[in-house]
A and B are shown apart, each in its own frame.
Chain A
Amino acid sequence: MIKKYTTTARPTPKNEIWQKEQGGIIYICERPRYLYKKLEQELFAKGLNNESVMLFGKTVPQFFDDEGRWWADRSLSSGDLLKVFIEDPGFYIRIMSKKVQDVISIIALLRTIDFDKDKNSLRSNFITLFDATVTFYSYYSSTFIVSDEMVCQFRQLLDSFLKKKESNRYFTDFLRAEITKEAIKYNAVEETTGTSKDLFYSERRPVLFYKEPKFFAESSMDNEVISKLFASEQKGKIKEFISLRLTTPLCIQINEEAQYVESKMLLPVLRMALLKIKELFVEQGIIDEGKDIRDLSYHEILSHFEF
């Protein structure tokens, strides 16, 4: 039996979260509208294993259902992860610091990819890009899944002791991202209204740009806000405030960065590589024109290069 619900952070029906118990384990599907193909499932499964080891020191149960929805152990759900990060904001910062270094490496690597149709370079591009994408999605839950919940909780806390005007002024101090400035500079801000999230969702040509996030965002209102918190009935929430004050501005930047890296850089490059590989396989009579290359596994793709 599947329980379906929405959260205050993502209240619209399209953002429903699904939950079910199987074999004594509570599984959560945070994005039930995303249906992943074979190759995507391999990427995400590897990424999630990496992420759970990084977060909890062990892999956690996960599976894809028959339609390709991704279910993961509740410990990786938005609500549970947020509790972990509020309890230990330093842990969140450490993970994000590692992520930033990984993203820098991924972008450097993308700059080296060429698109010759030569069989050996296509094969090597595929291996490189698969690994880079796994690395990128090794932060999936702590980036994409937790962000709305974190922002919402910070916002609710501010609203509970500040007037609307003060809360808006303070909160919007943190609605900034260094990478957004770069995206504007590179004219790379266009987005689509599409909802599908898969390896081919971004059809644009890659644009490579980057600027590291600011780990400690500033606000000229900090002193005033802290003093209002202590003067309010919410003064007992100082630990939560400090955690969210540290993590939320970074979370907003990391989430923004992730979406630019994903939609303008990594996935467009991967898409181009996969389409070139498909072209080669079709030319060689290995697969039909109508076949979606994402329906092949990693090893199937590699084995098809052995012609």
Chain B
Amino acid sequence: MKANKIIQSGMCVCPGTARGFIRFFRQNERYGKEDIVVMESWLTQQVMAAKGAGALLSKTGGLTSHASIIARELQIPAIVSVDIQSLEKSQEVIVEAEEEQITIL
């Protein structure tokens, strides 16, 4: 049986747990609860555009970034400053934001 890979990285800016599939953020796309959206940059307009997502992971961003406060306000589980290198499109993952943990299933 294949062991799950666990990534411990980043800072939680909105607690919560979500299970879904990795999608890299693209403008003008719609996201649903089954999408774990990965962003290269942590911008408020991107958080707003992905507000339907199950969880957000960002390579950049800090605790008090505008985008972090927006994600918290919208109650989307989110981790910023995540090492996103080993994440690939369509991978199934569980995001546990409070634990700053991503489990690749």
Interface residues of A (CB under 8 A from B): 147-148, 151, 155, 164-165, 168-169, 171-172, 175-177, 180-181, 184, 189-191, 193, 252, 255-256, 259
Distance (whole angstroms) from the CB of A31 to the closest CB of chain B: 16
Among candidates B43, B73, B99, residue contacting A176 with C-beta atoms closer than 8 Å: B73
* Residues of chain B lying within 8 A (CB to CB) of residue A191: 43-45, 66-67
The answer to whether A168 and B66 touch across the interface, beta carbons within 8 angstroms, is no
Q: Which secondary structure dominates chain B's binding surface?
A: helix
The answer to whether B63 and A193 touch across the interface, beta carbons within 8 angstroms, is no
* Residues of chain A lying within 8 A (CB to CB) of residue B99: 164-165, 168
Q: Does B105 lie at the interface of the complex (its beta carbon under 8 Å from any beta carbon of A)?
A: no
Distance (whole angstroms) from the CB of A144 to the closest CB of chain B: 11
Which of B14, B67, B72, B99 has its CB near the most chain A CB atoms (within 10 A)?
Answer: B72
The answer to whether B100 and A168 touch across the interface, beta carbons within 8 angstroms, is yes
Known: A168-B100, A189-B48, A191-B45. A151 touches B64 (CB 8 A): yes
Which chain B residue shows the least CB distance to A166? B98
Known: A190-B44, A190-B45. A168 touches B69 (CB 8 A): no
Which chain B residue shows the least CB distance to A252? B64
A190 to B100, CA, bound (A): 27
Among candidates A172, A177, A193, A255, residue contacting B12 with C-beta atoms closer than 8 Å: A172
The answer to whether B72 and A175 touch across the interface, beta carbons within 8 angstroms, is yes
A255 to B100, CA, bound (A): 25
Which of A180, A189, A190 has its CB near the most chain B CB atoms (within 10 A)?
Answer: A189
A168 to B63, CA, bound (A): 11
Among candidates A172, A181, A184, A259, residue contacting B14 with C-beta atoms closer than 8 Å: A172
Q: Does B15 lie at the interface of the complex (its beta carbon under 8 Å from any beta carbon of A)?
A: yes
Interface residues of B (CB under 8 A from A): 12-15, 41, 43-45, 48, 62-64, 66-70, 72-74, 97-100
Which chain B residue shows the least CB distance to A251? B64
The answer to whether A172 and B69 touch across the interface, beta carbons within 8 angstroms, is no
* Residues of chain A lying within 8 A (CB to CB) of residue B62: 148
A227 to B68, CA, bound (A): 28
Distance (whole angstroms) from the CB of B28 to the closest CB of chain A: 15
The answer to whether A151 and B63 touch across the interface, beta carbons within 8 angstroms, is yes
Q: Which secondary structure dominates chain A's binding surface?
A: helix
The answer to whether A180 and B64 touch across the interface, beta carbons within 8 angstroms, is no
Among candidates A168, A176, A184, A259, residue contacting B97 with C-beta atoms closer than 8 Å: A168
Distance (whole angstroms) from the CB of A85 to the closest CB of chain B: 16
* Residues of chain A lying within 8 A (CB to CB) of residue B72: 172, 175-176
A153 to B18, CA, bound (A): 29
Known: A180-B73, A181-B73. A189 touches B14 (CB 8 A): no
The answer to whether A189 and B98 touch across the interface, beta carbons within 8 angstroms, is no
Known: A164-B99, A175-B69, A181-B73. A193 touches B43 (CB 8 A): yes
Which chain A residue shows the least CB distance to B67? A191
* Residues of chain B lying within 8 A (CB to CB) of residue A155: 63
Which chain A residue shows the least CB distance to B71? A175
Known: A164-B100, A168-B97, A172-B12. A256 touches B63 (CB 8 A): no
Distance (whole angstroms) from the CB of B62 to the closest CB of chain A: 8
The answer to whether B98 and A165 touch across the interface, beta carbons within 8 angstroms, is yes
